[in-house]
Amino acid sequence: MRQRIFLAPGLLLVLIAIGGRFTLDRAGFPELAWVDLRVVGTAIALVTLAIDLAVRDRSDRKPGEGWLVATLIFFVFQIASALWAPAASRVGPQTVDLILLGTLTLAFYYWTLGDPDRALHYTFQLFFVAAIVFALAAIFVNGPGEQGRYSAFGGGPNVFVRIELLGVISAITLSLRSRRWLPLLVTPLFLLAAVLSGSRAGLMAGGAVGVAALWKIRSRLKAGPVIAAGIFLVTAGIVIWFSAPPAFTSLFQERFVEQTVQEQYLSDRTDIWAAAIRMAVDHPLAGAGLDGFYGLIGVNQMVEYPHNYVLAVAAEGGLIGLGLLACAVILWARTVRGGGARPQVTGIAVAAAVFVALSSLFSGDYYDARLFWTFAAMAAAAAVARARTVATAAPAREKEAVTP
Q: Which of 119-128, 257-266, 384-393 has the lowest mean pLDDT?
A: 257-266
Q: How many helices (H) and strands (E) does the chain have?
A: 17, 0
Those residues whose C-beta lies under 8 Å from the C-beta of residue 342, and which sit 6 or more positions away, are 116, 117, 382, 383, 385, 387
* pLDDT confidence of residue 3: 55
Alpha carbon distance 277, 271 (integer Å): 10
Most confident option among 208-217, 241-250, 357-366, 387-396: 357-366
Does residue 399 sit within a domain? no
Sequence-distant (≥ 6) Cβ neighbours of residue 313 within 8 angstroms: 78, 287, 321, 322, 325
For 136-193, what is the HEC assignment?
HHHHHHHCECCCCCECCCCCCHHHHHHHHHHHHHHHHHHHHHHCCCHHHHHHHHHHHH
**Cα 346 to chain centroid, rounded:** 15
Predicted pLDDT of residue 18: 92
More confident residue, 73 or 139: 73
Long-range contacts of 139-142 (CB under 8 A, 24+ apart): 139/192, 139/193, 139/196
* 264 pLDDT above the threshold of 60: no
Residue 396 forms part of a structural domain: no
pLDDT top residue among 289 and 34: 289
Each residue of 195-228: pLDDT tens digit?
888 888 889 999 999 888 888 876 676 777 767 7
pLDDT of residue 21: 80
Please check whether residue 3 lies inside any domain of the structure. no
> 395 lies in a domain?
no
pLDDT at 320 over 70: yes
Residue 276's pLDDT band, with cuts at 50, 70 and 90, is very high
Query: What is the distance between the alpha carbons of residues 383 and 377, in angstroms, rounded to a whole number?
Result: 10
| pLDDT value, residue 339 | 83
| Tally of CA atoms within 13 A in the half-sphere of 96 that contains its CB | 14
Across the chain, mean pLDDT equals: 85
Q: How far apart are CA 260 and CA 324, in angstroms?
A: 35
Q: How confident is the model at residue 153 (pLDDT cuts 50, 70, 90)?
A: confident
The answer as to whether 376 is a domain residue is yes
For residue 258, pLDDT beyond 70: no
In a domain, 139, yes or no: yes
Q: How far is the C-alpha of 154 from the C-alpha of 159, rounded, in Å?
A: 10
29: left (phi over 0), alpha (psi -120 to 50) or beta: beta
* pLDDT tops 60 at residue 387: yes
- pLDDT at residue 259, as a whole number: 58
The greatest distance separating any two alpha carbons of the chain, rounded to the nearest whole angstrom, comes to 82
Distances (CA, A) of 324 to 154, 258, 285, 331: 33, 41, 12, 11
**Residue 113 banded pLDDT, cuts 50, 70, 90:** very high
User: Above 60 in pLDDT, residue 1?
Assistant: no
In the chain, how many domains are there? Answer: 1
Residue 208: its pLDDT value, please? 93
More confident residue, 109 or 34: 109
- What is the average pLDDT across 22-30? 67
The DSSP 8-state label assigned to residue 213 in this structure reads H
3-state secondary structure (DSSP) of residue 387 = coil
For residue 385, the number of C-alpha atoms closer than 13 Å in the C-beta half-sphere is 28
Asked whether residue 275 is assigned to any structural domain, the reply reads: yes
Residue of higher predicted confidence among 160 and 143 = 160
Does any domain span residue 60?
Answer: no
Q: What share of the chain is helix, strand, coil (3-state, %, to 5)?
A: 75, 0, 25
Domain interval for residue 284: 8-54+65-386
Give CA separation, 252 vs 15, 259, 261, 351, in Å. 30, 10, 12, 27
Confidence at residue 393, expressed as pLDDT on a 0 to 100 scale: 41
The pLDDT score that the predictor gives to residue 401 is 42
Within a 10 A sphere around the Cβ of 262, how many other Cβ atoms? 8
**Residue (of 273, 264, 261) closest to 310 by Cα position:** 273
pLDDT by residue (tens digit) across 35-67? Answer: 788 999 999 999 999 999 988 766 555 566 899
